[in-house]
Amino acid sequence: MVAYFSVPKELRSPIYLCQGIINLLLAVYLITYGFIALPIVIPTILGIWLIVESFVAFFKGNRLGLIFPIIGNHIMWIAILTFVLGLVILFNPVATGVFVIYLIAFAFLIAGFVYIIEAFHK
């Protein structure tokens, strides 16, 4: 929202203000009630946020495609992939939570092996 009010009036877009308000509301919700229903609520909020951000990126890519077609097309494809990822997360929040837990566990596992190997290597 700071970026919205810091640019000149002719460069302001209402979508930036809407995006800032949505991000602010999600942050306040997570700070106040995020711990109550953590396994279901956070993936659902993440899915909704990704869907909203994909719409914003799609329209940005569409407008940018008029000036730079290659960059605009890439941004629109990334927006479509973000939309699909948001839908997957939204319709399967428990599986997303399990996936994230396993992803973090494997990251710690790999980091642990690296530290052990480096300890014996020296």
Separation in Å, CA 56 to CA 71, 83, 117: 15, 11, 45
> Could you report the per-residue pLDDT of 35-89, keeping only the tens digit for each?
666 677 778 888 998 999 999 999 999 999 999 999 999 999 999 999 999 999 9
More confident residue, 33 or 95: 95
Say yes or no to pLDDT of 13 above 80. no
Residue 38: both structure tokens together: 């953590």
DSSP 47-60: HHHHHHHHHHHHHH
Looking at per-residue pLDDT, the higher value among 51 and 30 belongs to 51
CB atoms closer than 10 angstroms to residue 84? 13
The pLDDT value recorded for residue 46 is: 85
Please report which residue ranges of 11-37 form alpha helices under DSSP H: 14-33
Q: What is the pLDDT of residue 73?
A: 93
